[in-house]
Amino acid sequence: EVQLVESGGGLVQAGGSLRLSCATSGFSFNDYAITWFRQAPGKEREGIACIKNSEDRTYYADSVKGRFTISSDGAKNTVWLQMNSLKPEDTAVYYCAAVSRAFLIWPFSRDEYIYWGQGTQVTVSS
């Protein structure tokens, strides 16, 4: 059974930091790309950071570039999202999603991802 389990969300003041984790199981981690998406109330789910495992390739949305860092550990089958300099507009539910690297064309296209976690809430107060 495939599982993606996010953790690490919470309430933080603007300018603060959080580190999200996405623990995975049930698929060949090193053959997959893992992406963090987020969805704010009333907005569409958007991809913000992607890592293609075993290729050391990362992609970032402009909205988080320079503030967020995605990383992974194949031995732990886990992906992290280090979020620094948080802003109120970063408030959202954060999801991790997975797809085989062989099938990934657009890293931030939701339709390409077949496995999703349940999400973790991040709230940034001003």
Residue 56 has pLDDT above 90, yes or no: no
Question: pLDDT-based confidence at 102, cuts 50/70/90?
Answer: confident
Residue 24: phi and psi, rounded to 5, are -120, 160
Nearest to 22 by CA among 38, 3, 41, 40: 3
| Number of residues assigned to the chain | 126
Work out the mean pLDDT of the chain and round it to a whole number: 96
Nearest to 62 by CA among 82, 44, 48: 48
More confident residue, 103 or 125: 125
What pLDDT, on a 0 to 100 scale, did the predictor assign at position 4? 98
What pLDDT, on a 0 to 100 scale, did the predictor assign at position 54? 87
Torsion of CA 125, 82, 8, 86, to 10 degrees: 0
For residue 98, what is the enclosing H or E element? strand 92-100
